[in-house]
Structure 1
């Protein structure tokens, strides 16, 4: 179960504006989530995606409308970097994205976008088949989120050898810290 600190201020006009901007109707289960939480900060939670087996990722935020992690701003930042049938709806601890597919085929499916694989594709040429499946609906995705009970003892012996930060994400962090 997801442990979320919800954003305030859901506004139906923002939802209509966003839907018009992306050119797709959003799935009802996702709209219900926005109405209830309007995105938010996720605490101690993870989900999984599938690529040559099952992989965990730590979910840190879900984007909202008219919020600090605004859905429309995130869409504008990533629209040429993710499939054009998807919208970014959340982020993991490593700056990767959770994406919602809005095309007729696999409508409402939720995928994982790994920024480290972005350089494999020409700008604007990434396809839905290049992402990793998380769930076949937004509600299924929500139900897949579990509490992260990893303890410090389980992490002993691991060390960070290399860190890469997405330049757009770094700019966003710097902009927020200067406010």
Structure 2
């Protein structure tokens, strides 16, 4: 099944993406920029994804994307999620989507994990706030945004 989107906003222009990068103080990977030129927010179908459970021995689980976050709008934008989760997610990540419970799907913007996709879940958040920035508490999803989008499927 080809990936399709519902409830998406109009695709962004290169200028709008550049302005958003400046406003957010983050440089987006090229695959994410290409994605934003075609899709801006919205619900994907299929919407299921597999991830490796945090702090496990490779144990996998399934989750769903409720929708991809937009760069602008009245609510639940990337900027909103950055404010809400700024001390709870690694600083070199950006929330690009969310599950039905509001847990963000993150894209890594720099460092050794650059371009990788992770899943943050409240139930795996450490009690010690100094540990929150660690990747050990994130579920690994994919090595790139393109890999992530290509792997979306109907959940089992």
Q: Give the TM-score category using the shorter length.
A: 0.7 to 0.9
Offset of residue 2 of structure 1: 3.6
Large movers: runs of 4+ above 6 Å: none
The answer to whether residue 103 in structure 2 is matched with residue 96 in structure 1 is: yes
**Structure 2 unpaired stretches of 5+:** none
Match of residue 63 from structure 1 = 69
Post-superposition shift, 1:11?
A: 4.3
1:4-153, aligned counterparts within 5 Å? Answer: 4-5=5-6, 6-8=8-10, 10-43=12-45, 45-51=47-53, 52=56, 53-67=59-73, 68-122=75-129, 125-148=132-155
| Largest Rg, 1 or 2 | 1
Is contact 1:41–1:61 with CA below 8 Å preserved after alignment? yes
Partner of 1:105, secondary structure, is helix
Q: 1:48 to 1:14 in 2, by over 3 A?
A: same
- The one-character-per-residue Cα deviations of 1:96-142 (angstroms, maximum 9, x if unpaired) are 11001112211110001011222423068422232111000000010
Contact 1:81 1:126 in 2 (8 A): yes
In structure 2, distance between residues paired with 1:21 and 1:40: 22
Relative to the length of structure 2, the TM-score reads 0.82
Rate the CA distance shift 1:15–1:82 in 2: closer, same or farther, 3 A: same
Q: Cα gap change, 1:17/1:79 in structure 2, threshold over 3 Å: closer, same or farther?
A: farther
Q: Distance in 1 between matches of 2:3 and 2:11?
A: 20
What do you get for the CA RMSD once the two structures are aligned?
Answer: 2.2
Listed as ranges, the gaps of 5+ residues in structure 1 are 151-179
Q: Distance in 1 between matches of 2:13 and 2:77?
A: 12
